[in-house]
Copies of this chain bind each other. A is one copy, B any other.
């Protein structure tokens, strides 16, 4: 008798769907569409965030499709992994265009999750959504250490510029952007002045911690009460360097993982959030136990738990 199993055999034989890789399907209709945007050569500093979609999918085998805290069986939400957007090797503009087109095409799904890639992909995705729903007002719920309002005239459409691209380009209004997690010495005075001028709502990490993350998200959502749909963008560098070394611009003083998890559960619960992305996680900068990638998968599952609680 031979005991051979196919090479791609997952680590434990199972008829039942118990882990994430058994739950997420690759074909058919689904409540949630997941896709990767593996582009990071548009990053100001060198970044391998383009490898995150692959690392994300590989890691999810280690996670059960069941949330024990909330006693939620995630399999009641259907998810389809639509794969990765093919990027051009050297033409960043073309790659950005493809993200925009793809996001437009998928925008009428119940919910889309984009796995970046660097933060420049967010500007493309939001423009794609806007094209699909030209008469809707879009709000941005951003978790980030940075404002990301550097000037594209100087840098081109780099990862430091997406929010400014969207505001200056008329896709989103400054006051429809809420940025949570700002702290310390990572935004120059002139950028803060730009944000003030445009009316961006800035919630510092200290403030968010004082109020609690659930409360903070609820207030942010409320302050976006007038928009038609909310696009949530999670720059993983919002996290503290001790919990997320694997980001190009890791800093001390950031969000703790349990705070991020709390925030994402609440974001997941919010009906008007129709799109989310997770960006700027560079698996090559992660530590030897892949702490950041694990945190990224956990964060996404918290969002999915919230989504499951919507029903």
Contact = CB atoms under 8 A, between A and B. Distances in A.
Interface of A: 1-7, 9, 13, 16, 18-20, 26, 35-36, 40-44, 46-48, 50-51, 53, 57, 62-69, 71, 73, 81-86, 88-92, 98, 101-102, 105-106, 120, 154-158, 182-190, 192, 202, 204-206, 240-243, 245, 249-253, 257-258, 261, 284-285, 287-289, 291, 294-295, 298, 301
Given A46-B51, A242-B242, A298 B184 contact: yes
12 contacts: A2-B105, A44-B89, A64-B188, A64-B189, A68-B187, A89-B158, A90-B156, A241-B291, A241-B294, A241-B295, A242-B243, A250-B294
A105 B4 CA distance: 11
A65 B291 contact: no
A194 to B, nearest CB: 13
Given A36-B7, A288-B245, A183 B253 contact: no
Contacts of A250: 289, 291, 294
B252 A69 contact: no
A69 B206 contact: yes
- Count of identical protomers in the assembly: 6
Q: Which 3 A-B pairs have the closest CB atoms?
A: A90-B156, A46-B48, A41-B41
Contacts of A65: 185, 188-189
A109 to B, nearest CB: 12
A288 B287 contact: yes
Given A184-B68, A301-B185, A102 B46 contact: no
Contacts of A289: 241, 245, 250, 285
Contact of A19 (B40, B106, B188): B188
Given A7-B57, A63-B186, A257 B252 contact: yes
A42 B83 contact: no
A3 B37 CA distance: 10
Nearest to A102: B2
A82 B4 contact: yes
Contacts of A120: 90
A102 B285 contact: no
Contact of A89 (B1, B156, B261): B156
Contacts of A7: 26, 36, 53, 57, 81, 83-84
Contacts of A36: 7
A4 to B, nearest CB: 4
A18 B182 contact: no
A225 to B, nearest CB: 26
Contacts of A2: 85, 101-102, 105-106
